[in-house]
Structure 1
Amino acid sequence: MTGGADRAPSTLVIGEALTDILTGPDGRRCAVPGGSPANVALGLARLGHPVRLATRIGGDGHGRELRRRLGGSGVLLTDGSVVADAATSTATAVLGADGAASYRFDVDWSLPPLVIDLAATGPVDHLHTGSVAALLAPGAARVLAAVRAARPRATVSYDPNLRPALLGTAARERPRVEELVALSDLVKASDEDLGWLYPGQDSATAAARWVRTGPALVVLTRGAGGALAFWRHGSHRVAPIPVEVVDTVGAGDAFMAGLLGGLLRAGLLGGGSAPGRVPARDELRAATGADRLPASVVGSLALAARTAALTCTRPGADPPHRADLAR
């Protein structure tokens, strides 16, 4: 692996950690730790990968539960991520009869500089960000600066996971999203993301266009329709895995975690934070340099689909452990 046999690649995830307040079709409510980037960090840690999370968590009960859950799975928080005198952000998810969710948000995304000080976070071989954190002021500017700073020594992934209720118009947000896409090696987006960003355009066409702007791989998730992976020379369909759906909360984040985990383990992401090492950018580019994807990438996409499918069988964003996938 590019990260070397002596140390597994270390991932820094930057983004929101919040509490999902789930309201079912019957009106019952429950509080579940969540937040798209935090879910990705949790999923990666449960798959056995070293992960740090740069975020903003309050000192209230929701915050304590978030810290307990993340820490219990091995996710480390960067210094300054806990703001003792603040409330933890929340997202109220209203579940339909089919398990799909619609959201209302109460989010504070203001970050002290220390939280994403790359010199203080420890080794960073891969950086992942997305969702609210990448677009919501005032923290979004620091997230973009961190991505730019990390890119020379780490690979980068991005999941827009757009929340229109917190954003401006698609026309206003599109340039920032496209800049982050161009800075990334791997991008995952949903049909809903691209449908909102490019109204009236086919989402697959938009994803194929993105892959020509910088990323080596762009993956479009389509819910029960599976996913499509695009690279410069072709596309690959990822078949859906039939399961009995409890809800879809966190399924996209679990897909992202599984995909990152597979590519990190294959040596196609990571590397670069130690002297003499360079990011695995060239390895991923080489792996996507032909008309067909190699087994390492196809296997990572299959792992992503399995990870998302298992998450759909559980309430809330509860990604599987590596042992769950083995069973």
Structure 2
Amino acid sequence: MKFYVIGDVTVDHLYHLDQLPTPGSETAPSRSTMEPGGAGGTISVTLARLGHSVILAARVGDDPFAEYALGRVRGSGVSEAAIQRDPDHLTSTITVMQTPDGLRAMISDGAANRQLDPAKLKKKDVETSDALIISAYSLTEGPQREYSLKAIEAAKNAKKPVPVFIDLGTGAVNKAGTKLEQDVIGADYLMLNQHELLALTGTGSISTALAQLGAGGARRVIVKVGKMGSIVWTPDETELVDAVPPEGNVVDSTGAGDTFTAAFAHAALSGLPLARAARAANAAGALAATRFGAQSREITPGDLATVMTKK
């Protein structure tokens, strides 16, 4: 299958701490690493490793970090035909501070990614894809937002409409708030975690939030609920899909949600019912968290074979 992905590519600086620093304090990490990341990069790499043809639309700076950010994108065979270079803005970076009990703090700079030039969008590449996947950070601001909206329009108006997957992120929802709902409600598949669901809808419970999205016209909503697994919702049914414990210890959740999204799209477009696709995604997200870095744990068809065939 062929996927068109719009989202950030970044260099992630990861710091594992006993506790998050307070203002004015200095702390030493138990471990620190630098890894390629970003939702667009991680989704693309995961899909390519699962055997798909992938075009990634992102923008990097004219700086040394650009090559590092694209390292695994290039190594996995993702097409760089829609990667843009920016002479004025730096490649995006993210600093992630994480404690053993799961607390996280992040410093994120959209930088070059937000300048993705919509004039360079080749609609035919979207129209001939089997799916369009957009990270909601791409819908928050700047030329990247216009690029994403044009791509959605191209997908919807294609001779054979292209399914649209939109994956939210906490930073995107915190920045755009409830106004983001109007941009994402028409997606064929809307994917988000519990916090993002409540913030997007301005509600206090999952059931109320899903009912509101349904009233607004949502078709399929997949809610990531951490250790509980995920919830799949349609206007006709709601089902909790249990988590799939990984082989190995969970050490870093960076990129696990993006891996979930890619694996879900892979499974759903392979013809699986939503609940079985979500189970495969649960397994992929958990496996991704057993290595440090968003793209370090390669997810293969063999990893998902058992959960995709199990009813």
TM-score higher than 0.5 here? Answer: yes
1:314 aligned to which of 274, 291, 303 = 291
Residue correspondence of structure 1 range 145-164 to structure 2 within 5 A: 145-153=150-158, 154-163=162-171
Shift, 1:215, TM fit? 3.7
What amino acid is aligned across from residue 320 of structure 1 in structure 2? I
What amino acid is aligned across from residue 105 of structure 1 in structure 2? S
Shift, 1:204, TM fit? 3.6
Shift, 1:261, TM fit? 0.1
2:190 aligned to which of 178, 187, 212 = 187
Q: Which has the higher contact order (CA 8 A, sep 6+)?
A: 1
What amino acid is aligned across from residue 262 of structure 1 in structure 2? A
CA contact 1:136–1:167 (8 Å) conserved in 2? no
Identify if the C-alpha distance between structure 1 residues 313 and 299 changes in structure 2 by more than 3 Å, giving closer, same or farther: same
1:297 aligned to which of 266, 270, 274 = 274
Q: CA RMSD in A?
A: 2.3
Question: What is the CA–CA distance in structure 1 between the aligned matches of 2:237 and 2:173, rounded to whole Å?
Answer: 34
Aligned length: 286
Aligned to 1:141: 146
Secondary structure (helix, strand or coil) at the match of 2:185 reads helix
Question: What is the CA–CA distance in structure 1 between the aligned matches of 2:58 and 2:118, rounded to whole Å?
Answer: 11
What amino acid is aligned across from residue 76 of structure 2 in structure 1? S
Secondary structure (helix, strand or coil) at the match of 1:21 reads strand
Aligned to 1:286: none
What do residues 49-94 of structure 1 show as CA deviations (whole Å, max 9, x unaligned)? Answer: 1111100122323210222210211211234523356421011110
What do residues 170-190 of structure 1 show as CA deviations (whole Å, max 9, x unaligned)? Answer: 2xxx22x22232221001110
- Which has the larger helix fraction? 2
Secondary structure (helix, strand or coil) at the match of 1:163 reads helix
TM-score normalized by the length of structure 2? 0.83
CA contact 1:14–1:116 (8 Å) conserved in 2? no
CA contact 2:4–2:129 (8 Å) conserved in 1? yes
Identity among equivalent positions (%) equals 28
Identify if the C-alpha distance between structure 1 residues 133 and 82 changes in structure 2 by more than 3 Å, giving closer, same or farther: same
Identify if the C-alpha distance between structure 1 residues 250 and 241 changes in structure 2 by more than 3 Å, giving closer, same or farther: same
CA contact 1:184–1:214 (8 Å) conserved in 2? no
Shift, 1:121, TM fit? 6.3
What amino acid is aligned across from residue 162 of structure 1 in structure 2? T
CA contact 1:208–1:218 (8 Å) conserved in 2? no
Unaligned runs of 5+ in 1: 1-7, 267-294
CA contact 1:101–1:248 (8 Å) conserved in 2? no
Shift, 1:102, TM fit? 2.3
Identify if the C-alpha distance between structure 1 residues 30 and 165 changes in structure 2 by more than 3 Å, giving closer, same or farther: farther
CA contact 2:126–2:132 (8 Å) conserved in 1? no
